[in-house]
Amino acid sequence: MASAGKDQVWVSELNARPEIRSAFPSGTVRFYDTTLRDGEQTVGVVLSPQQKLEIARHLDTLGVSRIEAGFPKVSPDDVEAIQLMQAAGLKAELWGFSRAVRGDVEELVRLGLRASVIEAPTSDIKLKAYGITRDEVVRRVSEAVSFAKANAITVAFFAVDGTRTDLDFLRKIYLTALEAGAAEIVVVDTIGACGPEAVEFLVRQTREWVGPSVPVHFHGHNDFGVATACAVAAVRAGASWIQGTINGMGERAGNADICEIALALRCLYDVPVALDLAKVREVSEVVQKAGGYRLEAWKPLVGENLFTRESGAVASQFHIPEAIEPYSSELVGADRRIVLGKKSGLDSIDLKAKELGVAIAQEQRGPILAAVKKRAIAKRGLLSDEEFLQIVKSASAVAIS
């Protein structure tokens, strides 16, 4: 996707300072979506194979380059979903998910998947939890990746809890995976344990270990509310792939939200991204409906309040979007609108009247605003258009009498 134009993005010029912009490598950032696997680990969410197919179709339209279709060894539903996706003619690559276990990889082979993440725990904390040694996990990774490679499966090695792994051992296991045939490496912040500076350090360190020709991914979680910042830092350090989910779904505080990351990269840093931002809100709605949840109205990019204005002070600037918004509603396929409530002002009344094609006399504006505020306070919420029209009608009747 091309860079956003100045007619659509109104962020601070400080973002364009040479020392900031030059820190980002050239090239398009691409997205590996794991909504159908890691995202489904959201507490209480269960997606049927048909729902996964519908989501996959929307991800494809969104421009997601790779879709993690599921973990087939542990889920018959995932097997069915993968087969549905394979028959759907998607443009995006379909990837599987596998542990560093031969049986998992054999299932990928059986299904005809040509690419997969292969994961293994690498931190001492995780190794202790699983009851295996460093030597054992190195052996498992080597054998599983070699078997996948022998069966023509492209592998991205995924070091579980990599951000809490001893650096010397992390280097060893990454290089072991590459020697066994892995094509790509994933830097994984499994429990959101790193800040952006630490992620930038580790991704840059990984790039040095694996060399410039090996694609590096970043997979992060949002436990401290900095997953987007961490992903941006990963790109700055040389990650060309970002893994995450739609709406930031996932365990605990969720995964990194790929659409938020794309928005930040494109609008704040002018980094090209392979994602169509104009379709994000539609895809977000589809996934919310399938998952049976609703996002907070103020969530970045997809929240329903982002281009909705109640405040009279803000409504007075509504005709100049760049005065009250950092990017255009058109950029993300959203509608701008005025709503009426306790905080409305005279400009709010004028704008809503114009929207609804209602003529209001100058002397009626004040009484109508007062009635709007009174109704909003009484109901502790916003007025519907019908309630506003009733107030206008009543004010007109009083004026006539």
* Residue ranges per structural domain of the chain: 26-291, 308-400
Q: In sequence order, which ranges of 33-123 are alpha helices (DSSP H)?
A: 49-62, 76-86, 102-111
- Write out pLDDT tens, residues 173-217: 999 999 999 999 999 999 999 999 999 999 999 999 999 999 999
Q: In 224-237, which positions are buried (b, 16+ CB within 10 angstroms) versus exposed (e)?
A: eebbbbbbbbbbbb
Cα 264 from Cα 267, distance rounded (Å): 5
Q: Place domain 26-291 in its CATH homologous superfamily.
A: Aldolase class I (3.20.20.70)
Query: What integer pLDDT is reported at residue 400 of this predicted model?
Result: 44
- Write out pLDDT tens, residues 13-38: 999 999 999 999 999 999 999 999 99
Contact 73, 107 (CB under 8 A): yes
pLDDT < 70 regions, the chain: 1-6, 397-401
State both tokens at 54. 């519908």
Contact 130, 95 (CB under 8 A): no
Angle (nearest 5°) at CA 147 between 145 and 151: 115
- Write out pLDDT tens, residues 205-218: 999 999 999 999 99
Cα 237 from Cα 204, distance rounded (Å): 5
Angle (nearest 5°) at CA 391 between 386 and 394: 125
Give the chain's mean pLDDT.
95
